[in-house]
């Protein structure tokens, strides 16, 4: 068998068959029904995306087992029908109850290549959620059925390697053709390539936004330094008078830093308020983080405050080094 031959190749950790490719092919949505549980009148039946998998699929796809067991070689057409559901579907269907041992069936089939309808399957495992509609999509509630019990005649071969998979493509294709010379092999790609193709446009947009943000940050820093430097130069006589009346260099330094800190605080308040509302525009570029992520806002605030204070140190040092006699003589 092709899968078994590929699994024996040096460097291959897992090889498995499944109907869909992770990050690329969402499963077709099917209406579900649960044994001894009727849908509420007028309510839509629960739904789950159908996937097929053989025993090696979950390891090859990197899908973790949360509870129960994975499929086994004995889950063939002659064995009792079984299913594995994703964590999100288990939560939706059973709440905090244990789904292992419960029974579900497919209520509607949109095509002929589909598992039998109205036949109860025993849930034997719960696995982690997947993002088969794309890395930026929400995890979809899914039902996995054994490939041999699905009645679906096509599959994707997934291979997980211990090292870089790119150099192994030729060996994998050769192994497939050795088993089945007439087997067409196409669209050989890695999950990293699928991921990069999915997020490529967003990554470019994020790069532009980051570049403009860095430029704005630099302009703001130069602006703070320029404003304070101009203020110190225009107040040289004032600082000289203050020092002749007993003000210490440390006190003048704190005075300038305080004025700079007030400017920075005002800028951060206005900027944070504006970014809070403008963040919605970046929603399509974000993955794994909310639009109004508190950690991001706090980190940005601390960074801006730190750089702003550092930018104030030069003008504050010049103010503290004013010679009263020179300042008053120049005035």
pLDDT > 70 in the chain, percent: 84
Does 285 score more than 70 pLDDT?
no
Query: What is the pairing mode between strands 121-127 and 65-68?
Result: antiparallel
Tokens describing residue 313: 């140190």
pLDDT of residue 266: 85
Out of 48-57, 190-199, 258-267, the most confident range is: 48-57
How far is C-alpha 239 from the chain's CA centre? 54
pLDDT of residue 265: 85
- When pLDDT is cut at 50, 70 and 90, the band that residue 81 belongs to is very high
Average pLDDT over every residue of 250-264? 82
pLDDT of residue 124: 95
pLDDT of residue 42: 67
Q: List 160's β-bridge partners, or say none.
A: 14
pLDDT of residue 181: 75
Whether residue 307 contacts residue 214, with contact meaning beta carbons closer than 8 Å, is answered with no
Does 75 score more than 70 pLDDT?
yes
Average pLDDT over every residue of 131-139? 72
pLDDT tens-digit readout, 207-236: 887 888 788 878 877 877 777 777 777 777
pLDDT of residue 91: 92
Whether residue 200 contacts residue 23, with contact meaning beta carbons closer than 8 Å, is answered with no
How many other C-beta atoms can be found within 10 angstroms of the C-beta atom of residue 110? 11
pLDDT > 90 in the chain, percent: 13
Average pLDDT over every residue of 130-138? 72
pLDDT of residue 110: 47
Average pLDDT, the chain: 79
* Domain layout of the chain by residue ranges: 2-189, 199-330
pLDDT tens-digit readout, 101-126: 999 988 765 455 556 666 899 999 99
pLDDT of residue 71: 93
pLDDT of residue 144: 92
Average pLDDT over every residue of 255-264? 82
- When pLDDT is cut at 50, 70 and 90, the band that residue 98 belongs to is very high
pLDDT of residue 86: 93
**Residues ≥6 apart with Cβ < 8 Å to 138:** 131
How many other C-beta atoms can be found within 10 angstroms of the C-beta atom of residue 219? 10
Average pLDDT over every residue of 252-266? 82
Does 174 score more than 70 pLDDT?
yes
Q: What is the pTM of this model?
A: 0.62
Tokens describing residue 80: 């009792």
**Residue 134: C-alpha distances to residues 24, 47, 143, 210 (Å):** 6, 19, 18, 23
């Amino acid at each position: 068998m092709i899968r078994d031959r590929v699994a024996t190749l040096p460097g291959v950790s897992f090889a498995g068959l499944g109907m869909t490719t992770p990050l690329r092919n969402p499963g077709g949505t099917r209406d579900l029904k649960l044994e001894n549980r009727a849908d509420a009148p007028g309510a839509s039946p629960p739904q789950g995306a159908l996937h097929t998998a053989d025993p090696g699929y979950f390891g090859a796809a990197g899908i973790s087992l949360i509870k129960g067991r994975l499929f086994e070689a004995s889950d063939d057409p002659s064995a009792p029908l079984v299913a594995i559901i994703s964590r999100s579907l288990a939560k939706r269907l059973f709440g905090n109850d244990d789904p292992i041992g419960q029974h579900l069936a497919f209520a509607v089939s949109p095509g002929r290549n589909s598992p039998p309808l109205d036949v109860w399957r025993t849930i034997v495992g719960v696995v982690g959620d997947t993002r088969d509609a794309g890395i930026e999509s929400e995890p979809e509630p899914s039902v996995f059925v054994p490939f041999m019990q699905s009645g679906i005649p096509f599959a994707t071969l997934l291979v997980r390697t211990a090292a870089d998979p790119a150099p192994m493509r030729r060996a994998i294709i050769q192994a497939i053709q050795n088993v089945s010379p007439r087997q067409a092999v196409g669209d050989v790609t890695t999950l990293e390539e699928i991921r990069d193709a999915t997020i490529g446009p967003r990554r470019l947009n994020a790069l532009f936004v980051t570049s403009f943000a860095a430029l704005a940050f630099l302009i703001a820093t130069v602006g703070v330094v320029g404003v304070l430097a101009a203020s110190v130069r225009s107040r040289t006589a004032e600082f000289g008078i203050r020092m002749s009346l007993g003000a210490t260099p440390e006190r003048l330094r704190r005075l300038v830093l305080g004025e700079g800190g007030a400017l920075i605080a005002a800028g951060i308040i206005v900027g944070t308020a504006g970014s809070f509302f403008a963040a919605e525009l970046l929603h399509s570029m974000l993955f794994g983080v909310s639009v109004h992520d508190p950690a991001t806002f706090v980190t940005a605030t601390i960074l801006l405050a730190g750089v702003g204070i550092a930018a104030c140190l030069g003008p504050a040092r010049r103010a503290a080094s004013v010679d009263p006699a020179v300042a008053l003589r120049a005035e």
